[in-house]
Structure 1
Amino acid sequence: MSDNEDNDEMMMEEFEPDQDEMEEENQNVHKQEGEKYECDLSAYTLFHEGSTGAPCLSFDILRDKLGDNRDCETPVSCYFVAGTQAARTHVNNIIVMKMGNLKKISEGDEDEDDEDEEEDEDGDPVISSAMVKHNGCVNRIRSTVINNVSIAASWSELGVVHIWDLSQMLGAVDENSQQHVLEEAPIFSFRGHRTEGFAVDWAPSMPGTLATGDCDRNIHIWKPAEGASWSVDSRPYTAHQASVEDIQWSPNEPHVFASCSVDRSIRIWDCRANPSKACMISVANAHESDVNVIHWNRNEPFIVSGGDDGKVQVWDLRQIQNSSPVAVLKHHEAPVTTVEWHPSDASVLATGGEDHQILQWDLAVERDTDEQNQDEESDVPEQLLFIHRGQHEVKELHWHPQVPGLIISTAHSGFNIFKTISC
């Protein structure tokens, strides 16, 4: 097979509600008499799916110029950047994708026949993509905007972190709906990590500042320099005792970031201090096993974590030193691989895991005393709003920052783009 044949081609399929498929893959959680939970075909406002030639197990949504607070009454467009994990190291890519004409599910979708579908040729989703070669599988990729330029950092399985200017790729996907293969190199690369890693995050309140963590427990802080370059502190932050799995900068406090690790701990750091003294707070044994992911609430002083123990735990930063979560959400049946708070609703979050589920939660939900007594034997947490199924081993999900309630998720089986009536 030639290299061209290994290039990842994105193919979108418009979702068509089917009763049997929906019952098997996607379940809306509505409390019914006798604690029955049934599929509701009206549970989705929008649902589309797509796949790539090689799986993209990490991605990030790119902010666009189409406006904030967009609804799904008119067709939705969205942009994101992803990285492939191909079987052969030399055929991996960074891919920028634009998905357009993503229409909401209408009441008549169930009754459309084949003839109607053929006549509605302009009703299909439109996908355009642009890709550049990436040396090694992309462990994780995260984007930011610096001086109105979209930038992405990619963690390579070869132990190198690359920085990419996405301008050319974004320009290509806006030209037409074709697949574009571009010749482009990263604008900066850091080879100071001694091994590969997964943890990477851009500081939202300090443009261009980046933190990266590796499997050898080291964290490095990057600061922007002149001429599309970065100054990376060679002194690592090393308080963790095992692989650093995720990093999250505070959305409100400059210089402060959190990390989690295979050593089961969550740590809070202040990068203004000497690396040997920068760890301000350490929560030992935060989970029963590896802590895989964390996410910082943008609106309230909370962090959510997910671990190999299948638990989702919420930590109040005002009392995190007590080493006790303020909420423990248990409904995943396998390791939790992704957690993310809703961008604007401080009590809502979404989680996903290797049990092929994405769950939507609302911590503000409380049952009254009588209802709680009736539900003592229920194994469905009261805060659980929605169960979305159908993807194999969910790896990442992100709420769209400009389309409230819209989630994009990726798994070994491809991408899902959906909005439920719950959020």
Structure 2
Amino acid sequence: MCYMGRHRSCSVWDFKSFLNSVADSGPVAHKEDDIIHNHVPLKIFNGHKDEGYAIDWSPLVTGRLVSGDCNSCIHLWEPSSSTWDVDTKPFVGHSASVEDLQWSPTEGDVFASCSVDGKICIWDVRTEKKPCMSIKAHNADVNVISWNRLASCMIASGCDDGSFSIRDLRFIKDDGAVVAHFEYHKHPITSVEWSPHEASTLAVSSADHQLTIWDLSLEKDAEEEAEFRAKMKEQANAPEDLPPQLLFVHQGQKDLKELHWHPQIPGMIVSTAADGFNVLMPSNIDTTIAGADKPTLAPLG
């Protein structure tokens, strides 16, 4: 596990033994409790010039990670034996705080970053420490990004103004790079993540205390909506400005901060907030039945 926060240092910890002990339901022995409290990190890096919160482990190169700080700098960590070699010369390309980092799901040497400067940058660790590509993604802080692991040309970004966008990296030099843009949320986007099981589905959380699930493959179907309203006897009328791609809205948590899809269980999400965490599995996210026909439009659940 890698941790970075307000103290400028970035540290890597090995919690494998503690995770393995979770299966033991017995009380923690006094000796084991001492071991937990006296546990020390495998590596501490003090090269960041400011606090930071952006970290991502490579899904392709075991042990490789990048860390970003509020001073606009990004450092590369390379695994070496039982420790890490951290390049003290940072990647520089942003003009403000680095907010999030994402490794490419298909290229082990490529990663993306987003920043308060409104940009998304694409980097290659094999080249000079300058971005290969710099995109003006939003007119406000870009808080979070997610690189689609099933459709690697797609990257999602969440903005401080409550909007989020989807870009096709194949057309990044053209005006058609933005394939979708939504302004449903009215407060800053705090987390965004593509589903690991469905290429067109992603989840978004916001400071408006909502977690939403979206399917970009859906389109408005007036005929099907009319049939559904007739079946429900006009009890299910949706607002006219409701995006047809919106599948599900989860409420009840205060100050949502982060969400993640379960890597093995399709449709399951864990979300963290100021008042705790939730594990949810919306009933109208039909990804668990093999060969099931995908609905054109699913009602809010």
Question: Is the partner of 2:178 in helix, strand or coil?
Answer: coil
On the 8 A contact 1:330/1:381 being kept in 2, the answer is no
Cα distance in 1 for partners of 2:240, 2:220 equals 13
**1:313 alignment partner in structure 2:** 165
The number of equivalent residue pairs is: 268
CA apart distance, 1:281: 1.0
Q: Which runs of 5+ in 2 are unaligned?
A: 227-236, 286-301
Q: Structure 1 pair 372/243, CA: closer, same or farther in 2 (3 Å)?
A: farther
Q: Structure 1 pair 187/337, CA: closer, same or farther in 2 (3 Å)?
A: same
On the 8 A contact 1:298/1:344 being kept in 2, the answer is no
Give the letter aligned to residue 215 of structure 2.
D
Question: Is the partner of 2:218 in helix, strand or coil?
Answer: coil
Identity %: 45
Out of 205, 218, 221, which is 1:352 matched to? 205
**1:297 alignment partner in structure 2:** 148
**1:168 alignment partner in structure 2:** 17
CA apart distance, 1:254: 1.4
On the 8 A contact 1:283/1:321 being kept in 2, the answer is no
- Structure richer in strand, relative to its length: 1
Q: Structure 1 pair 372/315, CA: closer, same or farther in 2 (3 Å)?
A: farther
**1:326 alignment partner in structure 2:** 179
Scaled by the length of structure 2, what TM-score is found? Answer: 0.85
Alignment of 1:21-420 (within 5 A): 152-176=1-25, 178=27, 181=33, 182=36, 183-226=38-81, 228-276=82-130, 279-284=131-136, 286-300=137-151, 301-322=153-174, 324-368=177-221, 378-420=240-282
CA apart distance, 1:239: 0.5
On the 8 A contact 1:409/1:416 being kept in 2, the answer is yes
On the 8 A contact 1:338/1:352 being kept in 2, the answer is yes
Q: Which runs of 5+ in 1 are unaligned?
A: 1-151
Q: Structure 1 pair 359/178, CA: closer, same or farther in 2 (3 Å)?
A: farther
Cα distance in 1 for partners of 2:194, 2:174 equals 22
Name the structure, 1 or 2, with higher relative contact order (CA <8 Å, separation 6+): 1
Question: Is the partner of 1:170 in helix, strand or coil?
Answer: helix
Give the letter aligned to residue 268 of structure 1.
I
Structure 1 residues 70-113: Cα deviation after superposition (integer angstroms, max 9, x where no partner): xxxxxxxxxxxxxxxxxxxxxxxxxxxxxxxxxxxxxxxxxxxx
Cα distance in 2 for partners of 1:303, 1:167 equals 31
On the 8 A contact 1:282/1:321 being kept in 2, the answer is no
Cα distance in 1 for partners of 2:211, 2:26 equals 30
Question: Is the partner of 2:95 in helix, strand or coil?
Answer: coil
CA apart distance, 1:175: 1.4
Cα distance in 2 for partners of 1:167, 1:398 equals 20
Question: Is the partner of 1:175 in helix, strand or coil?
Answer: coil
Cα distance in 1 for partners of 2:125, 2:98 equals 16
Cα distance in 1 for partners of 2:249, 2:221 equals 23
Give the letter aligned to residue 174 of structure 1.
A
Question: Is the partner of 2:49 in helix, strand or coil?
Answer: coil
